[in-house]
Structure 1
Amino acid sequence: MESTARESAPALSPATQSNQAAQPNQSGQSNPAQALINWDLAASAAARLAPAGPVLDGKAIGDAVDSLRRLADASVPHVHEITGLEAARDLRDSSVLVVDRASWAKANTQSFAVMLKPAMQKMLDTRRGNLSPAAAQVSGAITGSQLGAVLAFLSSKVLGQYDPFAALAENSTAPAAGRLLLVAPNIISVERELNVAPEDFRLWVCLHEQTHRVQFAAAPWLRHHMLEQIDELSGHLLGNVDSLMERASAAARSLKDRSASGNTPGRGAILDLLQDPEEKAAISHLTAVMSLLEGHANVVMDAVDASIVPSVKTIRQRFNDRGKDRGVIEKFIRSLLGLDAKMRQYSDGARFVRAVVDVAGMEGFNKVWDSVDHLPTEPEIHDAKLWLDRMGL
């Protein structure tokens, strides 16, 4: 099998968090809508604030990067065998990058810029007479710094991420089909924390992330559809800035009250207060899609046995138990950012996929990639029979 394509990039140093290779391109500020968020400042703030990664010597760094690249390639045939998706046979149109935390944060500022560009342009147009260039610059700097702090926190948590929007960023050289980012310092940190075999853990992670590449290859319409949905949702949220600010303040007060009373914020504790009926419908659809994507990847991840990942049972057990040891502050931040809701997407989506496969087999399940109309709704994610009946399976 041919090696998957990747952008030219020497090894990145998890020890120093260097920002020198496999570096996503600068987003710049040429688009006037970008004045509302200083993306470059967000990326630099994230790089500055991100916790230091594990300390490794030069040889260990090179070995880890080579290992991740090799295992990313090795995982593709397994994804093909498990999913039965022919799209897994050839992923040369997308790329694999092994990155550090700063590079991951930079990549995400580019993706955010792509996803929010239409809504921010509309917002800028409606407020053009009330927003001076100086005010826009100050606002962009504040928002960029805040986003950078969030990305700094997340940059130490993410093991890998498939970015289907990379090619749409300004001045991007990413392949049209997107890129897979494997965050080397985080993978190394977790495998050490769990005390598991590095090669086994890295392959296990790559199985999940490569599945996302295959999903978008199998459903080439999915990227455009998600962009449309994100544009619609962000347009609602940003369409009325004054209303948004009022609701955000109410959400923050509610979150503070729940924490003071000892109650952990529930699913979307802050998001629930940021929704009118149209927003709820848009979020419901995106939640269903993300649950499908994450759940499917988890099913693939869990489908391997000891013949592929020798210590898979130990990895699963220790990885699942890992979240129980999080401190109070981290739990609060995760709730605020909706990360706990994301974890529920993994389990909800996996239950949906398994329920469908049990009835219709993997071939029947794969109808989900045929068209937008075949995507499950949020009620269907929680009751697979609804989707099976709608599909006539």
Structure 2
Amino acid sequence: MNFYRAVRAVTDASGEGPVDWVAVGDAAKAVTAPGTLDLAPADERAYAADVRAARDQIRSVAGVDFDLPETVEIQNRHHWIDANVVTFERILDLLEPEAGLMPGIARSLNTGSMAFAVGFLANNVLGQYDPRLLSPGAGDDHSLYFVHPNIRRVSRQLDADEDRFRRWIAFHEVSHAAEFGAAPWLTDHLEDLIETTLRDLSAARFNRDDFLAIDTTMTAVEGYAELLMDQTFDEEYEDLRRKLDARRRGGGPIAQLIRRLLGLGRKRRQYERGKDFFEAVVNARDLRTANLVWERPENLPTDDELRNPTRWLTRVA
């Protein structure tokens, strides 16, 4: 890691926008060890086999028809940074904040903040399904990434068998592909909510209803993936679930503070709240009933229905 190079990238931030995204990538990579990708051919085959097994199991057990992304990459942390800086740029550019009286200083501060956030996430992300939200051009496809150095490190931290842990993560990320495949409207729905909310924020307005709609939609997305991950995984997983949940809640005080600042506490609550909702639906009915969430936007649970799944069942099922 090279903190001097990171500081230089931030202080030299340039351009006309509020964030120098090239500098964000350079600074984030300067303070983030890439990690090794010393994959044997057997490791590459194992990743591919896990993804295919997850696809086949989810199709069979959940009855969801979907295709895998054409792009499935095994990445190191720098690869993940390169892929996601573009996503952050697309989303945050909608804010169009005013540069203020000292645009150069503001640009450096914004660039440094984003570099810090991206670097922290690159050290912690295990896998990612990318639906390419707000991506210009209809030709952009969805993608699936696995950050191999993080999967290896975390499996050792949790004292879990690496092959089994990697396979379980594959089932979670492929579950996201199943959601977006089962609900062709979901990408447009999220894009509309995000665009409206960010434009309101850029105009110093806060629309609580739109923000709540994003939160409930993402709670459904994360909760359903957690449900499918457990319902379709073809090996024992209770110890993995217990250890991973503890990791999401744990970490030292600095790590916990960073997670709060980045909103990762909210994401953890989305996992937990969404999973509780879908488990209640499956226990009351079955998995096919839970799939009704993805038939149309109106079937998404409201905030009240997430707390009271019976009300969703009464309204939808």
TM bracket (short chain): 0.7 to 0.9
> 1:123-179, CA deviations, whole angstroms, 9 ceiling, x for partnerless residues?
5xxx5xx869xx556543431222011111111111111111168258xxx963311
- Asked if 1:317 is matched to 2:246, the reply is no
- Asked if 1:151 is matched to 2:118, the reply is yes
For 1:222 and 1:325, the matched residues in 2 are separated by: 32
Counterpart for residue 230 of structure 2: 302
For 2:154 and 2:232, the matched residues in 1 are separated by: 20
> 1:280-334, CA deviations, whole angstroms, 9 ceiling, x for partnerless residues?
22221111111111111111111246xx22x423322333333565111111111
Secondary structure, in 3 states, of the residue corresponding to 2:17? helix
Does the aligned pair in 2 maintain the 1:167–1:177 contact within 8 Å?
no
Give 2:30's aligned amino acid: R
Does the aligned pair in 1 maintain the 2:25–2:82 contact within 8 Å?
yes
Structure 2 stretches of 5 or more lacking a match? 1-14
Counterpart for residue 29 of structure 2: 47
**Aligned partner (choices 151, 157, 161) of residue 128 of structure 2:** 161
For 2:249 and 2:294, the matched residues in 1 are separated by: 35
**Aligned partner (choices 172, 183, 199) of residue 163 of structure 2:** 199
Does the aligned pair in 2 maintain the 1:100–1:183 contact within 8 Å?
yes
Counterpart for residue 95 of structure 1: 71
Does the aligned pair in 1 maintain the 2:129–2:176 contact within 8 Å?
yes
For 1:38 and 1:164, the matched residues in 2 are separated by: 24
For 2:130 and 2:223, the matched residues in 1 are separated by: 17
> 1:344-373, CA deviations, whole angstroms, 9 ceiling, x for partnerless residues?
111100111111222332222222111111
Give 1:190's aligned amino acid: V
For 1:76 and 1:164, the matched residues in 2 are separated by: 16
Q: How far is the alpha carbon of 1:377 from its aligned partner?
A: 1.4
Does the aligned pair in 1 maintain the 2:100–2:106 contact within 8 Å?
no
Q: How does 1:69-84 map to 2 (within 5 A)?
A: 69-84=48-63
Does the aligned pair in 2 maintain the 1:219–1:370 contact within 8 Å?
yes
Secondary structure, in 3 states, of the residue corresponding to 2:146? strand
Task: Give the number of equivalent residue pairs.
Answer: 304
For 1:167 and 1:73, the matched residues in 2 are separated by: 28
- TM-score, scaled relative to structure 2: 0.86
Counterpart for residue 208 of structure 1: 172
Give 2:226's aligned amino acid: N
For 1:117 and 1:324, the matched residues in 2 are separated by: 31
Secondary structure, in 3 states, of the residue corresponding to 1:161? strand
Moved more, 160-169 or 372-381: 160-169
Does the aligned pair in 1 maintain the 2:77–2:123 contact within 8 Å?
yes
Secondary structure, in 3 states, of the residue corresponding to 2:286? helix
For 1:384 and 1:150, the matched residues in 2 are separated by: 35
Does the aligned pair in 2 maintain the 1:110–1:166 contact within 8 Å?
no
Does the aligned pair in 1 maintain the 2:133–2:187 contact within 8 Å?
no
Does the aligned pair in 2 maintain the 1:295–1:347 contact within 8 Å?
yes
Secondary structure, in 3 states, of the residue corresponding to 2:285? helix
For 2:31 and 2:133, the matched residues in 1 are separated by: 24
For 2:209 and 2:131, the matched residues in 1 are separated by: 23
Counterpart for residue 67 of structure 1: 46
Structure 1 stretches of 5 or more lacking a match? 1-31, 241-274
Does the aligned pair in 2 maintain the 1:110–1:169 contact within 8 Å?
no
Does the aligned pair in 1 maintain the 2:133–2:191 contact within 8 Å?
no
Q: How does 1:337-356 map to 2 (within 5 A)?
A: 337-356=262-281
- Taking every aligned residue pair, what percent have the same amino acid on both sides? 28
Counterpart for residue 190 of structure 2: 226
For 1:387 and 1:194, the matched residues in 2 are separated by: 36
Q: How does 1:123-272 map to 2 (within 5 A)?
A: 123=97, 136=103, 139-165=106-132, 168=135, 176-240=140-204
For 1:80 and 1:49, the matched residues in 2 are separated by: 41
Cα pair distance change 1:382/1:51, threshold 3 Å? farther
Does the aligned pair in 1 maintain the 2:58–2:232 contact within 8 Å?
no
**Aligned partner (choices 65, 87, 112) of residue 88 of structure 2:** 112
Secondary structure, in 3 states, of the residue corresponding to 1:35? coil
Give 1:69's aligned amino acid: A
Q: How far is the alpha carbon of 1:113 from its aligned partner?
A: 2.2
Give 1:301's aligned amino acid: M
Does the aligned pair in 1 maintain the 2:58–2:175 contact within 8 Å?
yes
Cα pair distance change 1:62/1:331, threshold 3 Å? farther
Cα pair distance change 1:169/1:189, threshold 3 Å? farther
